[in-house]
Amino acid sequence: MRSNLSPRLILADGHEMPQLGLGVYKVDNDSARDLVDFALQSGYRLIDTAAMYDNESGVGEGIARSGVPRDEIFVTTKFWMDDLGYEKTLAACVKSLKLLGLEYLDLYMIHWPAPERELYTDSWKAMEKLRQDGLVHSIGMSNFHPEHLNRIFEIATAQPAVNQVELHPWLSQEDVISYHATRGITTQAWSPLARGQILDAPELSEIARSHEKSVSQIVLRWHVQRGYSIVPKSVRPERVLENSLLFDFDLTADQMVTISGMNRNFRTGADPNDRN
């Protein structure tokens, strides 16, 4: 079994989170069980799932099968928009814990703000209670714009630890990143490879050749050097391993500038204001 391969980021609430994790979006339960087991035995220590993925039981089975001690693993899940609201959020967390077979979550997140429903602040208060009760260690959100975060800070008594957003060189989200910096929120990227669409970019191929690395590794390294946490997803064991080999090289300052200059505000998913 390979030991922990990723550096850890210190969250604003004092907990530590691995910088590199495994995402399991669109992975069925049986595949998730095998993939999570493989990833943990290969050195991954952050697993990112969600109720909407419908694979929490498989993720839990993979964690149990891996033999990695629970206190070494950082488990994240998220609740769906239909569970926004105080009581629904409390119940959703209990359901996720049961499916995962866990006594606590390392990070619990609001999956989407669904701003037209005007319920995410009620959910935040429920998450603060879950944290106070010890069912959750850290609380955060996914797909929140600064205006949504402002509403959280108006009512919050606990610091949001993480905001997970679509983020890659074609969608640099500088306004969100700047907001996170002022508020002490850790940035985590979903779809850090733009669902593979960015991998044919010629400027990335040139940089990859100079380091004798894959284009995927170059893009993921760009995230790492910018201080983001990343949860790339793959169902192929060889790719899961490849995605972990990010910590034995550095991009030059000029290469970082080149990649950062690729932004075109291109989303592979929905704008959070449009998903309700």
Give catalytic residue positions: 53
At residue 99, what is the residue type?
L
Containing 149, the helix (H) or strand (E) segment is helix 146-155
How many residues comprise the chain?
276
Distance (Å, whole) CA 15 – CA 8: 10
With tokens 């991998």, the residue in question is 199
Angle (CA) 99-26-144 rounded to 5° is 85
Tokens linked to 87: 């009581």
- 86 alpha carbon, distance to own chain's centre: 23
Distance (Å, whole) CA 152 – CA 145: 11
Distance (Å, whole) CA 93 – CA 4: 27
Angle (CA) 228-233-239 rounded to 5° is 105
Angle (CA) 232-237-241 rounded to 5° is 65
Return the bridge partners of 166, or none.
190
Return the bridge partners of 46, or none.
74
Asked if residue 86 lies in contact with residue 121, where contact means CB atoms within 8 angstroms, the answer is no
Asked if residue 223 lies in contact with residue 130, where contact means CB atoms within 8 angstroms, the answer is no
Distance (Å, whole) CA 31 – CA 59: 9
